[in-house]
Amino acid sequence: MMAQSVAPLGWSVLPFVLSLVTILCNGAAIFCPSKCACPKKDVVICNGTELMEIPMDWPDTLRVLSITHSPLKTLTTNGLRRYSRLEKLKLDWNELETIEKFAFRGLKKLRLLSVQNNMNLLTFGRFSFSDIRSESSLEMHLQDNGVEEIERNAFSNNQGIRKLDLRGNPVRRLRHHSLSGLNQTDFLFLPADIERIDQQAFFNTTRVHLLQIEEANLTDTGLIPHTFDGLEHVTSLVIKQSRLGDLHAEAFAGIETVHYVRITDSQITRVHRAAFANMHNVGVLEVIDNRIALIDRNAFDGHTVQKLRFENNRIHCSCANMWMLTDTRIPRDMLAVNYCMSPARLENRALIDIGAEYARKCPVVAAQQQLTSSASGTPLILSSFLVILLTSFPLISSL
Ligand SMILES: *[C@@H]1O[C@H](CO)[C@@H](O)[C@H](O)[C@H]1NC(C)=O
Ligand SMILES: *[C@@H]1O[C@H](CO)[C@@H](O)[C@H](O)[C@H]1NC(C)=O
Ligand SMILES: *[C@@H]1O[C@H](CO)[C@@H](O)[C@H](O)[C@H]1NC(C)=O
Ligand SMILES: *[C@@H]1O[C@H](CO)[C@@H](O)[C@H](O)[C@H]1NC(C)=O
């Protein structure tokens, strides 16, 4: 057939045809399962196969293995150990339901691991990605699976994980120690729509360059005490475009040696007393471009960050927040760069431009806020306008 089609073109095409035949012949000598392409002898790319598990009898010299659009269901413990020379492993668009403990153990040469778009994969169980211990720099793309739960120590006992992308998984809750053991990761992208972060979710998460929490909705639980406890030697912790609910007392306690913590473009229901207390060795804390309903009088107590930037936030300018205008611990500069979001007639006014006469018109709420703070046992530093308020409301001062 080939000879027939070549003939009319003449002999000049023959060298080309011969070389083509040579390539095809060599190709035939390469190991290559059906429905797979094998561009090199150690590269196998399979799409739309009937494979239900990782084959155990393929050459152990493979460097690149991709199995996609196949009915793969389970990755078993040590199931990839045979392929210890793998540098790239792609298992996207399969029907994975289970990744057993230590499924990727021994893949020391791995540089890319992609497990994406497996909608039946609901859990990253304990130790599922443990013990890879890549000798080079490993990128893990684990986006867009059906994962609702990341169990404790799913990534523990590792090294070399330089990037971990978990976006697009419907994880609702980040559990205690679930990111433990990530100790060299440059970029850690968490799923959006997280609704709850347990205490110490980031325990033993260290030396991460960028840890980003985006589009979380923590409206119900808020950031609870010690959420970030055990997060150490991290360059940047960025929380953005999230509904953070309440920042409870000591929400950030236990953060250790972090270059900067930035909370931006988020909505905060209430910043509780001492919300930023007990962070150790934090360079910069930035709270910028947020909408904040309520800030407790002692919100910034106990913070030891070297530089606090609290700027361009929109604050509900209710009486409950008006202590900021007169409390000497709030620098005037800070009042100049934060603005009212409500009530309507004060919208976009810088706090510094409000003036005490406004505050004077709404005594009761302000006094209540004051009482809340005193109830928690912190000594009061009465601001001048509150002294005025209290004297004009004998009922309250008698409490
Ligand atoms: C792989 O197979 C799927 C489904 O059979 C198909 O939609 C897709 O285009 C294939 N991809 C490649 C790169 O051939
Ligand atoms: C990361 O953790 C692993 C396992 O716990 C450990 O062997 C390794 O030395 C750690 N690497 C760094 C940079 O701390
Ligand atoms: C924290 O990491 C260290 C060293 O990598 C390890 O020995 C220890 O068991 C880890 N602790 C927890 C609670 O995961
Ligand atoms: C955030 O969560 C709250 C409480 O669970 C819910 O009422 C609200 O609709 C959620 N907001 C968004 C934008 O998902």
Measured from the Cα of 157, ligand 3's closest atom is: 5
Task: Enumerate the β-bridge partners of residue 36.
Answer: 46
> 26-41: per-residue pLDDT in tens?
444 568 999 999 999 9
Q: Within 13 Å and on the Cβ side, how many CA atoms surround 244?
A: 31
- Computed from CA positions of residues 133, 134, 135, 140, in that sequence, does the dihedral angle turn out positive or negative? negative
Q: What would the mean pLDDT of 376-393 be, rounded to a whole number?
A: 33
> 73-127: per-residue pLDDT in tens?
999 999 999 999 999 999 999 999 999 999 999 999 999 999 999 999 999 999 9
d(CA 73, ligand 1 centre) in Å: 18
Protein residue with its CA nearest to atom 12 in ligand 4: 217
Tell me whether strands 36-40 and 43-47 are parallel, antiparallel or unpaired. Answer: antiparallel
Q: What would the mean pLDDT of 222-242 be, rounded to a whole number?
A: 96
Structure tokens at 102: 């230590």
pTM (2 d.p.): 0.80
Mean of pLDDT over the chain:
85
Res. 356 pLDDT band, cuts 50 70 90: low
Protein residue with its CA nearest to atom 10 in ligand 3: 204
- Computed from CA positions of residues 205, 116, 100, 160, in that sequence, does the dihedral angle turn out positive or negative? negative
d(CA 237, ligand 4 centre) in Å: 23
Tell me which amino acid residue 265 is.
Answer: D
| Residues in contact with ligand 4 (CB, 6 Å cut-off) | 217, 219-220, 243
Tell me which amino acid residue 60 is.
Answer: D
Q: What's the N-to-C CA distance of the chain in angstroms?
A: 103
Tokens 């229901």 belong to residue: 269
Cβ–ligand 2 contact at 204 (below 6 Å): no
d(CA 141, ligand 1 centre) in Å: 19
Q: Under DSSP, is residue 210 helix (H, G, I), strand (E, B) or coil?
A: strand
Pocket probe for ligand 1: among 44, 47, 49, the residue whose CB has the most ligand atoms within 8 Å is: 47
Q: How far apart are CA 210 and CA 224, in angstroms?
A: 22
Task: Please report, for residues 69, 132, 134, 154, 367, the alpha-carbon distance to residue 102 in angstroms, rounded to integers and kept in the order given.
Answer: 23, 8, 13, 9, 58
Res. 17 pLDDT band, cuts 50 70 90: very low
Cβ–ligand 1 contact at 66 (below 6 Å): no
- Omega before 343 within 30 of 0, i.e. cis: yes
Q: How far apart are CA 192 and CA 170, in angstroms?
A: 8
Cβ–ligand 2 contact at 217 (below 6 Å): no
For residue 18, the model assigns a pLDDT of 37
Residue 188: Cβ within 10 Å count: 25
309 and 287 in contact (C-beta within 8 Å)? Answer: yes
**Apex CA 334: angle with CA 373 and CA 209, to 5°?**
95
Residue 158 CA, chain-centre distance (Å), reads 18
Measured from the Cα of 47, ligand 1's closest atom is: 1
- 319 CB-near residues (< 8 Å, 6+ apart): 359, 362, 363, 364, 365, 366, 369
> 284-302: per-residue pLDDT in tens?
999 999 999 999 999 999 9
Protein residue with its CA nearest to atom 8 in ligand 2: 159
Query: Residues of the chain with pLDDT > 90: what percent?
Result: 75
d(CA 177, ligand 3 centre) in Å: 10
Q: Under DSSP, is residue 288 helix (H, G, I), strand (E, B) or coil?
A: strand
- Ligand nearest, relative to CA of residue 184: 2
d(CA 204, ligand 3 centre) in Å: 6
Q: Among residues 332, 321, 265, 273, which one has the least CA distance to residue 293? A: 321
Measured from the Cα of 153, ligand 3's closest atom is: 14
